[in-house]
């Protein structure tokens, strides 16, 4: 069985011969010296008959590896930890993998993407792991289609706030450090797990339908902060109406003290830089965009990275919906504007349904993806269109999907034959005209 190359966009990540149902991570972090100590226990199952397994771990050094409590042999080269199980495990066998590791975490480069993963800030930490940065902080099976639940305990100096994807179960202070205990009970792919550490304060914005909060620097600009993030509770309510109930137990926006080039979604948590605190559509749209990823990307996750439009096209369309809802500009006007812009784009040819790793985060994936949804809406009508979105989330939350699944779903819900429609929008280079 081929172990690597489960996804051609991310060669060398993941191993399809085993799967993880739960990650239990015990971490200690020292900001001075950037030192991470980890003890990870993975609840696993063999998916084939295996006597060895490959685990993703980048930059950190494993010291001991245990399988079902017994020490086993391993080698660690590059970003792959190869573990010899010491016996043959039959497909379907449950087992526990424990890795003790430590080192200086740093983001990992790749051929096609910016660096991703654990990164030091001026005075704190950010983990921006999409798409290949998870192995920079924990040993994992780094595939988007291997979702698991998580328990994370992280000890950090007392004067820092630690935000991790999931619900805070408690904090325990001992000497100069505090251990933060988080749990994510909804299945989560490795790249959506995150840790954010900084000198932050917590602002509760709403308690229902789920707690909505911002974790931000104390010296934030009041007007800019309120203008960009003040509407988050209204956005949660609006998107819940359009896409179905918010899929996780809370939503947290972390605003780092540093400026960041782009914001990023994680599960139940999004990260923004200080520069996004402006009362300006350019910031507000990104607040809406990252929130919308909770439905499209995080609850419903692609099975392979070629289907990235199922995340970015949908989140971009959510921006346009919020634009209209909040009285900024109608969806139709935004669609017409971006249709003209994509038409005039002379970048390399792009196939939305398989853009290739080089163009995976090209702006056209976002805009043409949103235009595809708008064209679908115009074709089938508002009522059926939003029924397609709501049932898409309801049917697949916690799971993984493909573009083929979406086409079949849209046809089943609407009763329309959409084969030619999606072929033109998703698999031909030429941009179709918007239906009227
Ligand atoms: Zn996005």
Residuewise pLDDT in 10s, the chain (436 residues): 445 557 999 999 999 999 999 999 999 999 999 999 999 999 999 999 999 999 999 999 999 999 999 999 999 999 999 999 999 999 999 999 999 999 999 999 887 888 999 999 999 999 999 999 999 999 999 999 999 999 999 999 999 999 999 999 999 999 999 999 999 999 999 999 999 999 999 999 999 999 999 999 999 999 999 999 999 999 999 999 999 999 999 999 999 999 999 999 999 999 999 999 999 999 999 999 999 999 999 999 999 999 999 999 999 999 999 999 999 999 999 999 999 999 999 999 999 999 999 999 999 999 999 999 999 999 999 999 999 999 999 999 999 999 999 999 999 999 999 999 999 999 999 999 999 8
Task: State the distance from the centre of ligand 1 to the C-alpha of 265, rounded, in angstroms.
Answer: 7
How far is 181 from 178, CA to CA, in rounded Å? 10
Strands 61-67 and 70-71: antiparallel
Cβ atoms within 10 A of the Cβ of 161, count?
18
How far is 240 from 167, CA to CA, in rounded Å? 20
Task: State the distance from the centre of ligand 1 to the C-alpha of 309, rounded, in angstroms.
Answer: 9
Task: State the distance from the centre of ligand 1 to the C-alpha of 199, rounded, in angstroms.
Answer: 26
* Burial (CB count within 10 angstroms: exposed 0-12, middle 13-18, buried 19+), residue 222: exposed
Task: State the distance from the centre of ligand 1 to the C-alpha of 62, rounded, in angstroms.
Answer: 33
Task: State the distance from the centre of ligand 1 to the C-alpha of 373, rounded, in angstroms.
Answer: 15
Task: State the distance from the centre of ligand 1 to the C-alpha of 365, rounded, in angstroms.
Answer: 10
pLDDT at 263: 97
Task: State the distance from the centre of ligand 1 to the C-alpha of 159, rounded, in angstroms.
Answer: 32
How far is 167 from 248, CA to CA, in rounded Å? 10
Task: State the distance from the centre of ligand 1 to the C-alpha of 291, rounded, in angstroms.
Answer: 9
pLDDT at 5: 54
Task: State the distance from the centre of ligand 1 to the C-alpha of 370, rounded, in angstroms.
Answer: 12
Task: State the distance from the centre of ligand 1 to the C-alpha of 176, rounded, in angstroms.
Answer: 38
pLDDT at 4: 52
Task: State the distance from the centre of ligand 1 to the C-alpha of 296, rounded, in angstroms.
Answer: 9
24: left (phi over 0), alpha (psi -120 to 50) or beta: beta
How far is 317 from 433, CA to CA, in rounded Å? 17
Taking the model in full, what pTM does it have? Answer: 0.97
pLDDT at 369: 98
Strands 161-164 and 167-174: unpaired
Nearest CA among 7, 251, 219, 225 for reference residue 110 = 7
Give the chain's domains with CATH numbers.
1-193 (2.60.40.1730), 199-294 (1.10.390.10), 300-427 (1.10.390.10)
Could you tell me the strand order of the sheet in which 117-121 lies? 117-121, 124-128, 195-198, 161-164
pLDDT at 2: 44
Nearest CA among 126, 124, 260 for reference residue 198 = 124
Task: State the distance from the centre of ligand 1 to the C-alpha of 252, rounded, in angstroms.
Answer: 16
Cβ atoms within 10 A of the Cβ of 101, count?
22
Cβ atoms within 10 A of the Cβ of 344, count?
7
Task: State the distance from the centre of ligand 1 to the C-alpha of 311, rounded, in angstroms.
Answer: 7
How far is 312 from 293, CA to CA, in rounded Å? 8
How far is 158 from 177, CA to CA, in rounded Å? 5
Task: State the distance from the centre of ligand 1 to the C-alpha of 303, rounded, in angstroms.
Answer: 16
- Collect residues with CB below 5 Å from ion ligand 1: 312, 315
Task: State the distance from the centre of ligand 1 to the C-alpha of 226, rounded, in angstroms.
Answer: 22
Q: At what angle do helices 309-325 and 403-414 cross, to 10 degrees?
A: 50
Task: State the distance from the centre of ligand 1 to the C-alpha of 366, rounded, in angstroms.
Answer: 8
């Amino acid at each position: 069985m081929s172990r690597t190359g489960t996804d051609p966009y991310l060669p060398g990540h993941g191993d399809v011969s085993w799967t993880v149902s739960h990650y239990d991570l015990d971490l200690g972090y020292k900001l001075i010296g950037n030192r991470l100590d980890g003890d990870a226990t993975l609840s696993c199952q063999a998916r084939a008959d295996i006597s060895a397994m490959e685990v993703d771990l980048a930059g950190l050094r494993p010291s001991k590896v245990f399988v079902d409590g017994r020490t086993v042999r391993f080698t660690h080269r590059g970003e792959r930890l190869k573990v010899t199980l010491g016996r043959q495990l039959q497909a379907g066998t449950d087992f526990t993998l424990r890795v003790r590791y430590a080192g200086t975490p740093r983001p990992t480069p790749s051929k096609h993407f910016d660096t991703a993963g654990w990164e030091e800030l001026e005075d704190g930490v950010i983990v921006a792991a999409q798409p290949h940065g998870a192995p920079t902080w924990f040993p994992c099976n780094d595939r988007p289609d291997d979702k698991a639940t998580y328990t994370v305990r992280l000890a950090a100096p007392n004067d820092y706030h630690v935000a991790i994807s999931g619900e805070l179960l408690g904090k325990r202070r001992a000497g100069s450090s505090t251990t933060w205990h988080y749990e994510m009970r909804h299945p989560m792919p490795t790249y959506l797990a995150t840790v954010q550490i900084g000198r932050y304060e917590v602002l509760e914005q709403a308690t229902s339908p789920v707690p909505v909060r911002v974790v931000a620097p104390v010296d934030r600009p009041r007007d800019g902060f309120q203008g960009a993030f003040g509407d988050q509770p209204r956005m949660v309510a609006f998107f819940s109406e359009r896409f179905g109930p918010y899929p996780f137990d809370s939503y947290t926006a972390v605003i780092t003290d540093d400026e960041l080039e782009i914001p990023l979604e994680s599960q139940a948590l999004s990260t923004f830089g200080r520069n996004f605190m402006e009362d300006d559509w350019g910031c507000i749209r990104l607040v809406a965009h990252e929130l919308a990823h909770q439905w499209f990307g995080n609850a419903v996750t692609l099975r392979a990275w070629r289907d990235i439009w199922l995340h970015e096209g949908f989140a971009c369309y959510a921006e346009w919906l919020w634009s209209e809802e909040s009285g900024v500009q109608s969806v139709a006007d935004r669609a017409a504007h971006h249709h003209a812009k994509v038409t005039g784009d002379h970048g390399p040819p792009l196939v939305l349904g398989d853009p290739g790793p080089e163009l995976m985060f090209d702006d056209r994936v976002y805009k043409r993806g949103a235009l595809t949804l708008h064209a679908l809406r115009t074709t089938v009508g508002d009522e059926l269109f939003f029924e397609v979105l709501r049932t898409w989330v309801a049917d697949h939350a916690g799971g993984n999907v493909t573009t083929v699944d979406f086409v079949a779903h849209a046809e089943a819900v609407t009763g329309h034959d959409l084969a030619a429609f999606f072929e033109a929008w998703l698999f031909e280079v030429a941009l179709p005209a918007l239906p009227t």
